[in-house]
Each structure stands twice: as C-alpha cells, then as structure tokens.
Chain A
Amino acid sequence: MAQIKVEALDKSFGDFHAVKSASFTVEDGQFLCLLGPSGCGKTTTLRMIAGLELPTAGTIRLDGEDVTMNRASARDIAFVFQLFALYPHMNVRRNIGFPLKCEGIGAAERDRRVVEAARILRISHLLDRSVSGLAGGDRQRVALGRAIVRKPKCFLMDEPLGALDTEMREAMIHELRALHDRLGATTVYVTHDQLEAMAMADRIAVMNNGVVEQVASPRDIYDRPASLFVADFIGSPPMNFLPFRGGLQTGAEAIRLGERDVAIPAAREAMAESELVLGVRPEHVRFTDRGMVRGEVYGTEYLGTTQIVTVTTSYGALKARSPSSRSFRTGETVGLDFRPDTLSIFDKASGRAIRTALHEGVAHG
C-alpha cells in the first residue's frame, strides 16, 4: 500500500487542455473520489496515475518514488475499468489469475490466491464459468478480483459502477466500501455521481474544466464549498445563489442584502466593493413571516418526508427544503430567512469562497 502524490499535473491533447495543474495527495489507505461532470479531466487524471497517459507536465509520486514517466506495468497498481475489461476468451478463474501469470507465479500458488480473492468477493461458485454469461454485478466482482489478487500498491477505479443498474449499484457501493475497509488499500475512484462519492470516499477531489476545485472530506465539500462550482455541483437540489454588490471588512458579521442586513459567519478576510454571491443550502432556508427575503411560491416537489419549495424572489428562484407536513399554495407570498452560521459567500468574478468563520478548524489540502 502506498501514498499517491500528484503535483501540478498537466495534460493537453493538441489544443485541448484536459488537466490544468492538478495537485492532491492520497494518503496511505485512504479512499479518494475524483468527482466532476463528464469532460472535467477526472478520468484523464486517473489514467495518468495509472500510466495509461503520460502527463504534459507535473509529477506523480508513489510512496515518494517519481513514477511520472514509468510504464503502466512498472507501477504496481491495479485498475478497474467502467466496462470491466474482462477477457472474453478466458473463464473467471483465468481472468482473475491473469496478472499473477505475468509475474511468473506458479500454478499452485496462483490458484490459491485466485480462490482466496474469489472468496473475499463471494464469487467462488463462478470460478469456472465463462465471463460472457455473468450478470453486471458479478462481472464487476471478477474485475475487482483481478485487481485485489495481486495485492498492488493502490487501486484505481474508473466509474466501476457506471454500467450497473441502480439496485446493483447501491449494493456494490456498500461492498466496495467494505472491501476497502478490509484491505485498507489506497484507492482513487473516479465518478460523476456525487452520491457514490459521498457514500464511499474519505476525501473527495472535485474537478471542473481540468482544475481541481477542492479536496476535502465529504462533509467539508458539502458544508464549506471552496468555490461556486463545488457549491452548485454538490447537493440536490444545489445551493441557492443570491447575487449582491457589496464589500466586506475583516470581522464583519453581516452583509447588506437589498434593504436588510443578513447575518453571516464572521468574515476572516476583507473584500473591496465588488459583485458577491451569497450561498445558502435549501435546508438552511426557513419560512418566517418576518423573513428578510420575500417571494411567491412557484411550486413544490414532494420527496416523502421533505418537500422542495420553489419561491420566486427578486434574487431569482430559490429552493427551500421543508417538512412535507406543511402545505403551500402556489402564488402564496412567503418570507424567507437563512440560518446565519451556514452561509457561504463567494467572489462572483473568481468563483472563490471568501474565508469566514465557517471555514475555521478546516484544514485545507
């Protein structure tokens, strides 16, 4: 097992700049999710760690050793592909044993380790089956078997659950996390699904347009987004954004929003007068008659225990999460209030979050 350190990694395909100076560290035994929309460079980053693409610039260290330009076969890593990449001309046993064969491990030892891997993944009964007849989840288990059988330094997974149906996906999320806890293997996992990332990761690296926007724990990513993009991408429905113009003094505990003062976590940096954005999660919006923002109910989405209420205000449509016991009439005028200690403030031009008391005690990395 190993630490993976990615420093200022760059990759261009001709004119297309796929990854822009990506840096992050995956500690030994950690489960890191690379999360982002399609085309954000997360898979390219993973493939560079694997050695399937060579970076244009930057370094990749495995346990301190610079492997940036090493061949994939020389890196001692395992890769799980979205489409499994099981060799169709081999049965399950030979598929799982294939990496061991390359290392020149004898048949007896090979078989012992294949059986062991199959036992961990509970596919022992499938060992002599052809891979083409397997269900999606079993195929993915065979692919995982091929990865764990070699005891590599780390696992790289490229949307391994993307090809499975929802039900199987849920089950595999728990299985993967349990497998990780059991093996303690350093894992980098690429996905565009925030629920997968939230459920499995120790840390999440959110990428957009080739840039790593934030690397943090799932909780920090959700509660303390480092940029407008992260705030918008994570959460369903996403964070509400209220644009306003104003300045901030260090220590300021309120901002001027229209005619009213809105309490915010104390600012830890000063901001000259500029276009800013107030960010508030739907569940931090409260309905009060004396609310600082007023608007009309546009519609509701019923979600079982809660409902999402869309309110048209002078700041645009805001979404609020409310217990579904409360009823709203379309067109009804309501007042909205925000929970002060949870608000984020962003600089609109750069998209960067402005440091406030919200970020205190959070290590940035």
Chain B
Amino acid sequence: MTSATTAHSVVEPSATTRRFAGSLVVLYAVITMIPLVWIMLTAFKSPDDAISYPPKVLFKPSLEGFCNLFTTRSRQTPEFIRSLGPPQGMCDDIARSRNMVVAGPSNYVPRFVNSLIIAFGSTVLAVALGTLSAYGFSRFRVPLKDDLLFFILSTRMMPPIAVAIPIYLMYRTIGLSDTRLGMILLYTSVNVSLAVWLLKGFIDEIPREYEEAAMIDGYTRFQAFVKVVLPQATTGIAATAIFCLIFAWNEYAFAVLLTSGNAQTAPPFIPIIIGEGGQDWPAVAAGTTLFLVPIVVFTVLLRKHLLRGITFGAVRK
C-alpha cells in the first residue's frame, strides 16, 4: 500500500488556473483602458498631432487643448497682434502663435459647475429619499407593498428618453426648462427607483433587533434609524450613491433636450467645443479628461464600500 500525498489543496484554484484568470483580467483591463488612455494622450497633443496619420503615440506634449478648452479666441491680423503688448500668460502666447488672441473665458467652467451641482444634488436627494422609502418598505406593513414596489421598478422598464417629449413640454409649461432644479428633480426621479430597490436589499439584511434594542434603550424610531440603521447601511448607501452619481453625471439625452444655457451640463457642452474653429480634438479630449476626474475621485474614495456593496447578500457579515 502506498499512501497518496496531497500537497495541493482541493478547493484552491491551481497556479495555472490563477495565471489564466489573471491574464484574462489584465486583457480586459487593457481593452477598456485603451480608449481612456487615448483620450488623455490626445488632450496633451497639439491639434496637428491629434489628427496626424499614422496616429502618433510619442509626441511633444502641449497644453494647447486645455487652453482652447478654457478660453474663447478671436482671429486677428499679425500686424494687430504685433501692436499688442507682451502676451498675457501661456495661453495667450499659444493663441498668438496661431494668429489669435484670447477673447475671454469659455463656458466650460460654468457647465462643469452645473454638472457638479446637478449630479451631486440629485444623488443626495435620490439616496435620501431612497433610504427612507426602503426603510419604510422593509420595516412597516405598507398596504399594497408589492404593487408599489413593482410600480417603482416599472419606471425603469423603458428607456427614460421615451418620456423626453412629455417631460420637455411639461417642463416648458411649468418653467423648469433649463433650470438646475428641473434637472435635479428629473435625475432624482429616475434614480430613486434604483435607490429604493438597492437599499431595500441592504436594509432587509439588517436585523430588526438592532432598532428594537435601541427603542427599548429609550430612543425613538427615528433616532434608532439614524444611530443604528444608517451606520450599518453605509455600504449600501455608498454603493447606491455611486450608481446614482454615475448616471446623473453621464446623462446626455435629457441634458441636450432640456438645457441650453443656464443649466447646461458638461456632457452636451463638450461636443460643442469641436465646432469652434476647426476640429479641435485636443480641446474635446481635455474637456473629457477633466470630466472624468470627479467620478474617479468619488469612486476611489468609496471603493471599499463599492466592492462590498455590489456583492451584498452573497456573504453574511
């Protein structure tokens, strides 16, 4: 009789399996990163490098794209430019080399600020409303609970843009067109269904005993909710907030239709840049690159929660 030696674990994946899985992940990451990297590279190219063929991977970095993004310029005769004093900063210098002068700031910053206000505003509102209603649905005997939940979910069964025309007419009538408030309300109403369903899952997982213990200890239900339920739901709230924010931040169709100046967000503004004097790809790429920053920062800040959040229910704490 010889005894079998089992040096390897039966349940752990083997080294080969791990390497194969690892290379798949890397491959996927590379494929998804290429467009992003290309956009970031383009942002630092000069307009000529940006449209050169074959495409340039190595190039002399330039900030012209960012200058064009943040400024409006007007074309002038070389004589006029020479008659001006010394250039006002780097962007003026670049513009003069192309026979232009900086006329003033572009609309990118106000559009970006609109995006921030509308996206974060609607996220806060959607998550707050979602948490409260999810708690209600999770804990109380609500009449027609299942029907109400289905109704809430059903608002997501069609693409939101299907109701764009009615909303456009409605907003024009009640004066919400091209207002930040209007956009916040719109994105909130789209996101709140997602928030209710996601958060209900999380809150269902929190045993009622925690609130009951707090209520017996002398707290009101609302205090128990704030002090005991919310801290335990942070993972779910963070995950939900990221999903809501990404939707509101990236939303394009409603923004094109419902905003023009006052409340216009960055997504409909960025493509407009291209029309101003030639195909200014570096400026568009610079606008897109900066546009990515808030979501990346927000996601990185909450990534621990996000990772635990999207696998919720799979593993008991």
Task: List residues of A whose CB falls within 8 A of some B CB.
Answer: 50-52, 71-73, 75, 77-79, 81, 83, 85, 87-89, 98-99, 102-103, 132, 146, 150
**Given A85-B207, A88-B232, A89-B231, A99 and B212 contact (CB-CB distance below 8 Å):** no
When distances are taken between beta carbons in the complex, the residues of chain B under 8 Å from A103 are 218
> Taking the nearest CB of chain A, how far is it from the CB of B233, in angstroms?
10
Residue pair B216, A52 in contact (C-beta under 8 Å): yes
| Given A73-B216, A73-B218, A102-B219, 19 new contacts (CB under 8 A) | A50-B216, A51-B215, A73-B215, A73-B217, A75-B216, A79-B212, A83-B207, A85-B207, A85-B212, A87-B213, A89-B232, A98-B217, A99-B217, A99-B218, A102-B218, A103-B218, A132-B317, A146-B213, A150-B217
In the complex, which residue of chain B has the Cβ closest to the Cβ of A156? B216
Residue pair A51, B218 in contact (C-beta under 8 Å): no
Q: Kindly state whether residue B63 has any CB partner on chain A within 8 Å.
A: no
When distances are taken between beta carbons in the complex, the residues of chain B under 8 Å from A88 are 232, 317
When distances are taken between beta carbons in the complex, the residues of chain B under 8 Å from A71 are 215, 220
Query: Which 10 pairs, one residue from A and one from B, show the smallest C-beta to C-beta distance?
Result: A99-B217, A85-B209, A102-B218, A85-B213, A89-B231, A79-B216, A81-B209, A73-B218, A72-B215, A72-B216
When distances are taken between beta carbons in the complex, the residues of chain A under 8 Å from B223 are 102
Residue pair A77, B216 in contact (C-beta under 8 Å): yes
Interface residue range, chain B: 10 to 19
The residue in A72, A83, A146 that gathers the most chain B C-beta atoms within 10 A of its C-beta is A72
Q: Kindly state whether residue B210 has any CB partner on chain A within 8 Å.
A: yes
When distances are taken between beta carbons in the complex, the residues of chain B under 8 Å from A51 are 215-216
> Taking the nearest CB of chain B, how far is it from the CB of A248, in angstroms?
49
Task: List residues of B whose CB falls within 8 A of some A CB.
Answer: 207, 209-210, 212-220, 223, 228, 231-232, 317
When distances are taken between beta carbons in the complex, the residues of chain A under 8 Å from B216 are 50-52, 72-73, 75, 77-79
**Given A88-B317, A102-B218, A103-B218, A79 and B213 contact (CB-CB distance below 8 Å):** yes
Q: How far is the CA of A83 from the CA of B316 in the complex (A)?
A: 14
In the complex, which residue of chain A has the Cβ closest to the Cβ of B212? A52
Residue pair A87, B218 in contact (C-beta under 8 Å): no
When distances are taken between beta carbons in the complex, the residues of chain B under 8 Å from A75 are 216
The residue in B212, B219, B223 that gathers the most chain A C-beta atoms within 10 A of its C-beta is B212
> Taking the nearest CB of chain A, how far is it from the CB of B175, in angstroms?
45
Q: How far is the CA of A306 from the CA of B32 in the complex (A)?
A: 75
Q: How far is the CA of A98 from the CA of B231 in the complex (A)?
A: 14
In the complex, which residue of chain B has the Cβ closest to the Cβ of A149? B217
> Taking the nearest CB of chain A, how far is it from the CB of B212, in angstroms?
5
**Given A88-B317, A89-B231, A146 and B217 contact (CB-CB distance below 8 Å):** yes
> Taking the nearest CB of chain B, how far is it from the CB of A81, in angstroms?
5
Residue pair A72, B232 in contact (C-beta under 8 Å): no
Q: How far is the CA of A79 from the CA of B213 in the complex (A)?
A: 7
**Given A87-B228, A89-B231, A102 and B217 contact (CB-CB distance below 8 Å):** yes
Q: How far is the CA of A72 from the CA of B216 in the complex (A)?
A: 5
In the complex, which residue of chain A has the Cβ closest to the Cβ of B214? A98
Residue pair A87, B217 in contact (C-beta under 8 Å): no
When distances are taken between beta carbons in the complex, the residues of chain A under 8 Å from B210 are 85, 87
Q: How far is the CA of A77 from the CA of B213 in the complex (A)?
A: 11
In the complex, which residue of chain A has the Cβ closest to the Cβ of B317? A88
Q: How far is the CA of A88 from the CA of B209 in the complex (A)?
A: 12
> Taking the nearest CB of chain B, how far is it from the CB of A67, in angstroms?
13
Q: How far is the CA of A225 from the CA of B104 in the complex (A)?
A: 96
27 A-B residue pairs with CB within 8 Å: A50-B212, A71-B215, A71-B220, A72-B216, A73-B215, A73-B218, A73-B220, A78-B216, A78-B217, A79-B216, A81-B209, A83-B207, A83-B209, A85-B207, A85-B210, A87-B213, A87-B231, A87-B232, A88-B232, A89-B231, A89-B232, A98-B214, A102-B218, A102-B219, A102-B223, A132-B317, A146-B213
Q: How far is the CA of A150 from the CA of B214 in the complex (A)?
A: 13
